[in-house]
Amino acid sequence: MKLDKIIKEIEDQKKLPNLNFSIKEKTEAFTKKLFYTLFDKQTPVKDNLMELGMDFEVLAKLVCWEPGSPCQDIWSEYLNKLPGILKKLNLDAEAIFKNDPAANSVEEVYLSYPGFFAIATYRLSHEFYKFGLPLVPRLMTECAHSITGTDINPGAKIGNSFFIDHATGVVIGETAIIEDNVKLYQGVTLGALTVNKTLKNIKRHPTIKKNVTIYANATILGGETVIGENSVIGGNVWLTKSVPKNSMVSHTPQINIKNNSDK
């Protein structure tokens, strides 16, 4: 096949005029600059906020290709939200430090904990999601997903002092609700019972009430599923029904141990 024919066939398949991979790259850079602005002591807040405003203007023009999309005025409103977002993130970091005996300092949490990075990215993206900004919130959380293995949809609603220990493999769906002081371990899934496009505007993911702990690899599914406050969900549990408050839910597999020296 001649080169000009190959080129034409490839060009004919590129049918999405707004598919611009620089959106992803610019969103990742924007997210990183947000982190430095909020957390890094050496980063000048004023200068970085001005730069972020210009970066956002570029992003808004790239992602708001639909007529009437509410993009241009979002940045000033988002700025007003940043102090409150930072306050919540500081509570998250404190919760991790207080709950994890392996954490030697709060600075260690900010710098090295994948759970904190995933939570912080979620909180920063969630406000954009609420404003109706297209694509950017999801790309922000996918940035954290690719780095940490933790997938938190920006549409989820998460309360204060949230702690994800180890973080890898955690999935939190778009309509999940998590109240204050909840603790998750690695591999936890808060998902939907079924995947169907007709369910787009329906609550599909569970509600986790205050002070709940969910241990590794537990799976909790369904929009009507509610885990009552102060409950403990054991590792590898599979739940599709609600649990009353103060419950202990466990999965007990059969384990056989054989001592080879007894032969």
- 10 by DSSP, 3-state: which? helix
Q: What is the structure's pLDDT at 94?
A: 96
What is the pTM (predicted TM-score) of this model?
0.92
pLDDT for the residue 42: 96
Confidence of residue 181 (pLDDT cuts 50, 70, 90): very high
pLDDT at 167 over 80: yes
In angstroms, the CA 192 to CA 215 distance is 19
Quote the tokens at residue 27: 């969103």
R_g of the chain, CA atoms, integer Å? 22
Q: Tell me, what's the pLDDT at 255?
A: 80
Q: Convert the pLDDT of each residue in 107-121 to its tens digit.
A: 999 999 999 999 999
Q: In a 3-state reduction of DSSP, which class is residue 249?
A: strand
- pLDDT above 70 for 197: yes
Question: In Å, what is the CA distance from 90 to each residue of 87, 97, 184?
Answer: 5, 11, 18
pLDDT > 70: what percent of the chain? 98
What pLDDT, in 10s, does the model give residues 248-261? 999 887 788 888 77
- Residue-level pLDDT at 69: 66
